[in-house]
């Protein structure tokens, strides 16, 4: 399957990348966090998230969930604490995992796409009906196959998209995962950090209001960005994001030493 791994101490940070993305989208943050905290870090490649495109099309959301559950089961006795970070669709998968067990110390949600603009919500709901007539959704990419949802052009060249189009079948699976996460979000009861950008055109800023209405203020804190697009982990404010995550994780370390 392929994963990125940084070996460290007895604490594990499991990071989950986004829909049609890949582990390297989170490697910048992982390197910064590992250098500071010395945590072990794993970033698995979700099943189907590599070429050929047909493998992506034939993979289900349930398989992504089961893949992550297997990784957690394999590692839960190896580490003293496990922290969970999700990016984009990874936040939906992380929400489902956290809601179903009490293994995790803290949860970090980066660009969570629980809610979309009304028109896109309608289109997502109609996707199963489009399947006989439309096979793919084409992405907006530049001449170098760069992702227009990444505002920093220098990073756009470093992290091109894997697929220029997403199969309708895969979009349907994404929406199934989203619906499950929508029903599970109220079950979160651990300290949570949500990171959102006002310029995110995918996980639009209405997700801030959604989280405010569905997660208790006593357990969640926010970092609101001004310049980044959807690809927050590698966009303009990536260093600010890394510092905030390190501080958020470190708060537990300080409490234990008192």
pLDDT mean for each 10 residues of the chain (258 residues): 87 97 97 97 95 92 97 95 98 97 96 96 93 92 92 94 94 97 96 98 97 97 98 98 97 53
Q: How many CA atoms lie within 13 A of 150 on its CB side?
A: 24
C-alpha span between 57 and 39 (Å, rounded)? 34
Residue listed under structure tokens 């969970």: 84
Q: Which CATH architecture has domain 3-257?
A: 3-Layer(aba) Sandwich (3.40)
pLDDT for residue 2 = 72
- In whole angstroms, what is the distance from residue 246 CA to residue 253 CA? 11
* Separation between Cα atoms, residue 162 and residue 228, nearest integer Å: 21
DSSP type of residue 141: B
CA distances, 31 to each of 11, 35, 39, 57 (Å): 15, 6, 10, 31
Q: 145 is written with which tokens? A: 């196959």
- The answer to whether the CB of 185 falls within 8 A of the CB of 215 is yes
pLDDT at 251: 87
- Rounded Cα distance between 27 and 37, Å, is 15
pLDDT at 252: 61
Q: Which of 210, 200, 209, 136 is nearest to 166 (CA)?
A: 136
73: exposed, middle or buried (Cβ count in 10 Å: 0-12, 13-18, 19+)? exposed
Q: In the numeric block, which tokens belong to residue 160?
A: 């091109």
What's residue 257's pLDDT?
Answer: 44
Are β-strands 165-167 and 136-138 bridged in parallel, bridged antiparallel, or unpaired?
A: antiparallel
């Amino acid at each position: 399957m392929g994963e990125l791994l940084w070996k460290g101490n007895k604490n594990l940070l499991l990071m989950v990348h986004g829909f049609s993305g890949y582990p390297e989208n989170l490697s910048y943050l992982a390197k910064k966090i590992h250098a500071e905290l010395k945590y072990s870090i794993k970033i698995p490649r979700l099943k189907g998230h590599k070429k050929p495109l047909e493998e992506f099309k034939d993979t289900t959301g349930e398989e992504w969930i089961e893949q992550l559950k297997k990784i957690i089961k394999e590692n839960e006795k190896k580490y003293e604490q496990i922290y969970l970070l999700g990016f984009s669709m990874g936040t939906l998968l992380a929400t489902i995992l956290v809601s179903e067990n009490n293994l995790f110390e803290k949860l970090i949600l980066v660009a969570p796409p629980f809610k979309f603009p009304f028109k896109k919500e309608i289109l997502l709901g109609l996707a199963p009906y489009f399947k006989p007539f439309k096979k793919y959704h084409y992405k907006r990419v530049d001449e170098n196959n760069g992702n227009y949802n990444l505002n920093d052009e220098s990073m756009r060249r470093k992290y091109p998209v894997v697929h220029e189009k997403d199969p309708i079948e895969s979009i349907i699976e994404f929406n199934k995962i989203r619906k499950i996460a929508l029903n599970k979000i109220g079950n979160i009861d651990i300290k949570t950090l949500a990171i959102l950008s006002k310029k995110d055109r995918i996980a639009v800023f209405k997700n801030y209001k959604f989280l405010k209405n569905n997660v208790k203020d006593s357990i969640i804190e926010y970092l609101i960005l001004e310049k980044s697009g959807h690809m927050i982990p590698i966009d303009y404010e990536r260093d600010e994001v890394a510092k905030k995550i390190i501080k958020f994780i470190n708060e537990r370390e300080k409490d234990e030493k008192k």
